[in-house]
Amino acid sequence: MKVLNNLIKQEWKLKIPVFILTVFLSLIFYTNLASQAVYVINPQCGSAFENINGAGDATCAQIGDDGEVSPSLGFNFVYFNTIVTSITIGNNGAIVMASGQQVSLSNSCPPTTNNMVMPWWDDMDDAPGFGNVCYATRGIAPNRRFIAQWSDICNYPASTTNPTITFQVVFYETTNVINFVYLDAIFGGSYASDDGGGGATVAIRGPVTDPGVYMYSCNTNSVTNGQCISFAPPAPSDCAITCPQNIVVNNDPGTCEANVSVPVPTLSECLPSTTVLNDFNNSSNASGIYPIGTTEVEWTAQEPQSAPLTCTMTVTVNNTQDIELNCPDDIELTLNPGDCVAYPLWETPVAFSCNGFGAPPATVSTINVANNGNSPGGMVMFNLTNNFTSDMTIVGMSANITNGTQIAIYRKNGTYVGSETNAGAWTLVYTADATAGPFSGPYPGNGTLTPFVTNFTIPPGTSGIALHTISASSNYTNGTGANQFFSDGNLDITLGYAANALFAGGFTPRVWNGSVTYGTLEFNTEATLITSLGSGEPFPVGTTPVTYTATDSEGNTATCTFNVTVHNYPNPTNTLACNDEVTITVDEECNADINADMILEGGPYSCYDDYRVEIFTSMPANTWGATGNVDNPVGLGSYWVGIYDKTGNNCWGHITVVDKLPPCYGVS
């Protein structure tokens, strides 16, 4: 670059015409790093220095070594196709095109720090007592200008004897031109080697989304007193984008979504190479499957060398799906010989509703003001405590990250504490796509939280969570105790830990900046039985109705009923046959309950409960219709037992009730 600058100074001595010189310099000084925006550098823009130091409409202050101030521009300024409304002015002769940033003290050739405007990027300082940084917005819309001025600043360290320089940057509304204007660019004396930017970078560089570099000089004595260097984008385009009309459709039958055909936007007066993308599926075609509810779709038209244009439409899918609950078909069963009940089996009916069942999604947020950060590929850890009695589904998160990345999400049972470096204790449960933005930017970031979809469950109780930002850094906050716990009663977030690499030794306490969205809302759920008998329970002979119900999250209720019919064993024998002698042992109460199935033999018989049991101390003379003289159950002893069917048919047997259990005390 030094050779090129020497060549240019020689060309100036030859008095090359300004037009040719401007084109030539644009080619010489343009260092393209895959830039989408194109700036033209004019080293002799001709604008005079507009001194604002001490002016009534200016804000001036000594901001100290490596100090910064973050003013608002007062208008929208398009920088590398990105709208900027506020900036960070650093004492080191440079501006970051976002608020709340840091301006480093070390320049580089070419500059490697994104999103910077560098009229004199070097390690600079206010001259004690009189050096300062001023800024002001002047003019009337749409032709306002923002001026940032460094007055009487010197090389670090500051001294009252150090020679100083004065220069300014002017941002122009509407044209989006940037001018560097130098009132005094010469130190002289022992600092003569730094004259004209001999130790500084004079350039602009785009944001992370378009890191193009346009450099006038770097560490060369190229800037002169009174010089104006402009960086001008192409003239504003007449390109316009018009979204399709909002779309309203009904859900597809039996589903909670609709397959929607979405027209493309209309472009007018745009270059043929203009690209159009939507944020629904990040493509040029927004057609696809849309959920019930209203989805906002933003279209972005990007014409080369121009700021992006956007328009917004909505796709609304109406819920016309009633809650559904379908019971099994009626069940009929026939008993086996001697059985009195049946045990039917069926699957529990499942209800379906697009309103869902359970709790709707809710979000617990931490904070978004970072004062620390880790390296790309680092990790953050924290605990999530599920206070439900069932599993909780984590359906989304957001995080304070520097740029787009895939995020690997790990979980472990119990707290993360003690397992920070033990990779074997963790299970990868989900990999999230966090590339859509927006992003907070490099440390400390601007507080923007990048949302991303997740789908994993945590059981009741505490789970350790680890987020691995594979190609980005996390911006987070040092823990103070008071800022380490967040909860809505259902979900607790307890923070936290950070490291610069995967499961590496790190730092604590650190407070992850982000949010967690959870829900137990499901489109399908098992219905609730509201009658007395369920699957696998004893059903008597006859018809028994079985009813289920379900209520969705909107209070809509559905019920269904089916019948279980149990038939007695058909054609049982009418001839009864009894065992002549049966020995029966008593139970723990020293009693024996005498049933028909103990006495009868042969068969097949009907339900044993349909037979009458009569017990006598001796065989009655007349057995027809005899009524026993011993209550059932019986104690130890010898008895005659008669078994009667419904017609009066009967048979008789003798039983001996004995004690084969440990002794029964208190019984004679």
Q: How many CB atoms lie under 10 A from the CB of residue 569?
A: 18
Furthest-apart CA pair in the chain: how many Å? 149
| Confidence category of residue 236, pLDDT binned at 50, 70, 90 | low
Token match 């785009």: residue?
Answer: 206
| Confidence category of residue 31, pLDDT binned at 50, 70, 90 | very low
Give dist(CA 307, CA 614) in Å, integer. Answer: 101
Cα Rg for the chain, rounded, in angstroms? 43
Cα-based distances in Å from 47 to 186, 227, 600:
19, 8, 120
Q: Tell me, what's the pLDDT at 663?
A: 65
Look at 234-243, 313-322, 383-392, 476-485 and tell me which has the smallest mean pLDDT. 234-243
User: Average pLDDT of 175-180?
Assistant: 95
Instruction: Work out the percent of the chain whose per-residue pLDDT is above 90.
Output: 69
Contacts of 73 (CB under 8 A, 6+ apart): 84, 85, 86, 87, 137, 146, 171
| Helix, strand, coil in percent for the chain, rounding step 5 | 5, 45, 50
User: Average pLDDT of 363-391?
Assistant: 93
Mean pLDDT, rounded, of the chain: 89
Residue 503, pLDDT > 90, answer yes
User: Average pLDDT of 393-397?
Assistant: 90
| Confidence category of residue 469, pLDDT binned at 50, 70, 90 | very high
Q: Tell me, what's the pLDDT at 210?
A: 77
Buried b (16+ CB within 10 A) or exposed e, 297-328: bebebbbebbbbbebebebbbeeebebbbebb
Joined together, the tokens standing for residue 428 give 């990868």
Residue 21, pLDDT > 80, answer no
DSSP 39-82: -EEETT--PPP---TT-TT-EEE---TT-EE--EEEEEEEETTE
Residues 643 and 611 sit within 8 Å (Cβ to Cβ): yes
Peptide bond into 444 cis (omega under 30): yes
Contacts of 24 (CB under 8 A, 6+ apart): 8, 11, 16
List the alpha helices (DSSP H) in 71-118: none
Supply the DSSP symbol for 389.
S
Give dist(CA 10, CA 227) in Å, integer. Answer: 17
Q: Tell me, what's the pLDDT at 36?
A: 59
Residues 181 and 165 sit within 8 Å (Cβ to Cβ): no
* Helix or strand (DSSP H, E) at 29: helix 18-29
| Confidence category of residue 599, pLDDT binned at 50, 70, 90 | very high
Q: Tell me, what's the pLDDT at 408?
A: 96
| Confidence category of residue 496, pLDDT binned at 50, 70, 90 | very high
| Confidence category of residue 291, pLDDT binned at 50, 70, 90 | confident
Give the predicted TM-score (pTM) of the model: 0.49
**pLDDT tens digit string along 114-170?**
999 999 999 998 878 788 999 999 999 999 999 999 999 998 888 888 899 999 999
E strand segments, 233-389:
240-242, 247-250, 257-260, 266-268, 275-278, 288-291, 293-302, 309-318, 324-325, 331-334, 341-342, 350-357, 362-365, 372-373, 379-386
Residue 24, pLDDT > 50, answer no
Token match 């004019």: residue?
Answer: 42
Residues in the chain: 668
Contacts of 350 (CB under 8 A, 6+ apart): 325, 524, 525, 526, 527
Q: Tell me, what's the pLDDT at 14?
A: 28
* Helix or strand (DSSP H, E) at 4: helix 2-13
Look at 16-30, 190-204, 486-500 and tell me which has the smallest mean pLDDT. 16-30
Residues 275 and 301 sit within 8 Å (Cβ to Cβ): yes
Task: Tell me which residue of 553, 554, 517, 552 sits closest to 393, measured CA to CA.
Answer: 517
Burial of 20 (0-12, 13-18, 19+ CB in 10 A): exposed
- Backbone φ and ψ of 35, nearest 5°: -75, 140
Burial of 509 (0-12, 13-18, 19+ CB in 10 A): middle
Token match 């004679």: residue?
Answer: 668
| Confidence category of residue 553, pLDDT binned at 50, 70, 90 | confident
Give dist(CA 616, CA 325) in Å, integer. Answer: 56
User: Average pLDDT of 479-505?
Assistant: 95
Residue 219, pLDDT > 90, answer yes
Residue 334, pLDDT > 50, answer yes
Higher pLDDT, 416 or 108: 416
| Confidence category of residue 664, pLDDT binned at 50, 70, 90 | low
Q: Tell me, what's the pLDDT at 16?
A: 29
Residue 12, pLDDT > 60, answer no
Q: How many CB atoms lie under 10 A from the CB of residue 112?
A: 12
**pLDDT tens digit string along 85-114?**
999 999 999 999 998 888 888 888 888 889
Q: How many CB atoms lie under 10 A from the CB of residue 432?
A: 20
